Structure 1
Amino acid sequence: MRPRNLRTLAASACLVVGSLSLATACGPSADDAPASQPAAPTVTITGTSAQTPELTYPTPLTLEAPITEVAWEGDGDEVVEGGPVLLRIYTENGTDASVLRDDFLSVPKPYLLTAESIGSDLVSVLSGHRVGVRILHAVETDGVPTVMSIDILPTRAVGDPTEPEEGMPTVTHDATGAPTVTIPAEQPAPTEPVVRQVIRGTGAQVPSGSKVVIQLVAVKWSTGEVFDTTWGEGRLPKTVTVGADQLVEGFDQGLVDLPVGSQVMLVVPPGLGFGPTGNELSTETIVYLVDILAAAPPA
C-alpha cells in the first residue's frame, strides 16, 4: 500500500491535536497575532445651548486621531459651502483643560464656510449639518490637543412674521433669508423715527452698550436705492456696539431692549440720521432692516 503524502499526514495531525486543545502548536504563534489598538480617550460634553459647555476628558489628553461627535442635531437651514456661518465656539487646551476661547462671554463670530476662512478641517466637520447643531471636536493642532464645542447659529431672523403696517415699506425674503425692501409709492416719509418688528424674535433682550451681531440692509426712502448691505455672495454679518453713541442715532437707539432673533425695521429721519455733515445721506430718510442674530451678555 502506498504511504500517505507527508503534507497530508501533518495536516491530519493538526486536526487531531486541535480537537483536544485550543493551545496547539499547529496554529499561529503569539508573535503572529494582531496587536491590540489603544482605546481612544473618552471625551464628553454636557450643558444647554445657552450655557458654556462642560467638557470632560483625561488630562493631558492624547489623541491618536481626531474625534468628532454630534451632541445634538440642528433643525435650521443646512449650511452651504462658501456661504456664511455664525459659530459660537468654546475651546480648551487638552493638555491642562485651560480655556483658549469662550464665545459665551462675548459674541459668536461670522465666517465663510471655506478653507481660507476657517480651515479645511472645520469645513469638513461642519459641512452637511444644519443651523442649531452642537458638535464636539477634538483635534491636535501644532502639537497641542484642543477640545472644541461648536454651535452653528442662524444667520437670519428666525421668529414669527408680523402683519405689514399700512403706509410703511414692505419686506419680502428669498430662500436664504435675504430681504428686499419696497418703499410705498408716493408715500411721504415719516417725520418721526419708527421701530417695527417685521419678525418677532424669542431670544434675550439686547442690553445697552453690548456688542450685537447683525445682518442689515439700508435703503433710501426717496429712491428705494440700497446703499449698504451685509447680504450677498462673499458678505458676512457684522458686529456693532449699540447704545454707546457709536452709530447713527436712530439706529443706535432702535435695537436696545429688542429680542435676539428679531428682524427690525428702523425708519430714521434726517435729524436722527447722518446729520448736517455734508454727506449725501444727511437729508435722507433711511430705512434700515436689521436681523438681530446674537448679543453679548450683560456685563
Structure 2
Amino acid sequence: MRFRSVAAVSAAALTALVLAGCTSTAEPSESPASADPSVSDAALCEAVAESGEASEAVTVEGTAGEPSEVTFEFPLDIPALQSTVIDEGSGDPVEAGQLVSYALSAFSADTGEKLGDIGYGDTPVLPAQISAENPIGQIIGCAAPGARVVATFPPSDAAGGEVYVFDFLGVVPDAAWGEEQPAVEGMPTVELAEDGTPSVTLPDGDIPTEFEKATLKEGDGQVVEQGDAVLVQYHGVSWDTGEVFDQSWGGQPFTFSTNGGVVQGFADAVLGETVGSQVIAILPPSVAYGEGEINDADLTGQTLVFVVDILGVQPESS
C-alpha cells in the first residue's frame, strides 16, 4: 500500500521521535499549546479546508468507522486540498492539542483504484495530536467524534492526486485510563497530579540490581508486542540521585519502536502490557545506559525508574 499526507503522520512521527525523549537527559520540553485555549480552538475550527467540486464529486459507500468504497469520475481534477463532511458525528467537538484516533480509506484520483485501508479493526494507527497546522486539523477542524470526511489531495512531485475517506474515531486520553491495581511491595510509590503527571517516592534500602516492573493501572486495549510502535507519556527518575532527569509531561507524548531506539529496559517496560495501562519499571544499568562511573554528564551507571502511560500502539505491519 502507498499512503501519504495524513497517513504519513504516524510513520513520520515514529521516524522523527525515535530516541527523542528517553535517550536524552535534556530538560522536559515546554507544552506547545497556546496560553489561551480558546484561541487555539478557534484556529482549529478555521483551519479546515473548504469543500469544493473535487471533494463533493466523491460518493461514499459504507458505514462511518468501517472501511469504505467510493465512486467518482476519474481522473479527478484536484486544484487544492478540499474537505467535505459526510457524517457530522456527535458529542463534544475536538479541541486543539488533544490526541485523536482515526482511520481512513485511500484511493487514486487518477484511476479510482483503492490504495488501501489503515486504522480499522485490529490494525490501529497511533493517535495523533491535532492542531491547525497539521493535515488532520485541516481535514476535520473541530469536528465531533464519529465524523466522516472526504478529503481530496492535489498531486505533488512524489505522487498523483488522492482521495481519502477519513473517519475521526474518537479522542484519546493523554494519561492512562485503566483500572488501578494493588501496589507491589518494595516498588517505588507513585502519586498522580490532577492532570495525570506522576511523582515517585523511592523506598529506603539498597538500590535494586535486577529489572523489575509492575502494572499500576491495567488498560483494556491492544497488547504491545515486539516491533510495535508505541505512544506513551513517561516520567523518569534516577534512583541514585532521586532527581527527575526527563519526562514527556508538560510537552508532547513520546513515540518509539520496541525494536530499538530506546534503552532495552524502556521497551521491556511496555512489552506485554495493554493500551490504557500505566506501568512502573526499575532499570539497572545493564538494561539502561550501561555500567560505569556515575557522573553529571550522562546516566551511565545509574539505576532508573520510569512511570509509563501507554496511550496507543501501532502494529509493525500497519
The normalised TM-score by structure 1 is 0.67
Q: Are 2:278 and 2:309, in contact at CA under 8 Å, matched by a contact in 1?
A: yes
Distance 1:260 1:251 in 2: 16
- 2:73 equivalent to 1:60: yes
- 2:312 equivalent to 1:262: no
Q: Are 1:45 and 1:56, in contact at CA under 8 Å, matched by a contact in 2?
A: yes
Distance 2:118 2:62 in 1: 15
- 1:31-50 equivalences under 5 Å are 43-46=60-63
Q: 1:69-108 CA distances to partner (integer Å, 9 max, x unpaired)?
A: 245658xxx7432x24243331423741523772455632
- 2:169 equivalent to 1:151: yes
Do the aligned partners of residues 281 and 97 (structure 1) sit closer, same or farther apart at CA in structure 2, a change above 3 Å counting?
same
Selected match of 2:95 from 60, 80, 83? 80
Q: Gaps (5+ residues) in structure 1?
A: 1-38
Structure ID, larger Rg: 1
Shift of 1:122: 3.8
Selected match of 2:215 from 197, 205, 214? 197
Aligned-residue Cα RMSD (Å) equals 3.4
- Partner of 1:108 in structure 2? 126
- 2:183 equivalent to 1:183: no
Distance 2:229 2:162 in 1: 31
Give the counterpart letter for 1:164 in structure 2. Answer: A
- Partner of 2:106 in structure 1? 92
Distance 1:292 1:156 in 2: 8
- Partner of 2:190 in structure 1? 171
Give the counterpart letter for 1:99 in structure 2. Answer: L
Shift of 1:156: 2.4
Q: 1:34-83 CA distances to partner (integer Å, 9 max, x unpaired)?
A: xxxxx9875354376xxxx2214432388997224245658xxx7432x2
- Partner of 2:266 in structure 1? 251
Shift of 1:195: 0.9
Q: Which has the higher contact order (CA 8 A, sep 6+)?
A: 2
**Structure 1 SS opposite 2:245:** strand
Q: Are 1:167 and 1:187, in contact at CA under 8 Å, matched by a contact in 2?
A: no
Give the counterpart letter for 2:192 in structure 1. Answer: H
Q: Gaps (5+ residues) in structure 2?
A: 1-55, 155-160
**Structure 1 SS opposite 2:183:** coil
Q: Are 1:68 and 1:125, in contact at CA under 8 Å, matched by a contact in 2?
A: no
Query: Number of residue pairs matched?
Result: 243
**Structure 1 SS opposite 2:286:** helix
The percent of aligned pairs where both chains have the same amino acid is: 25
**Structure 2 SS opposite 1:271:** helix
Q: Are 1:183 and 1:221, in contact at CA under 8 Å, matched by a contact in 2?
A: no
Do the aligned partners of residues 140 and 93 (structure 1) sit closer, same or farther apart at CA in structure 2, a change above 3 Å counting?
same
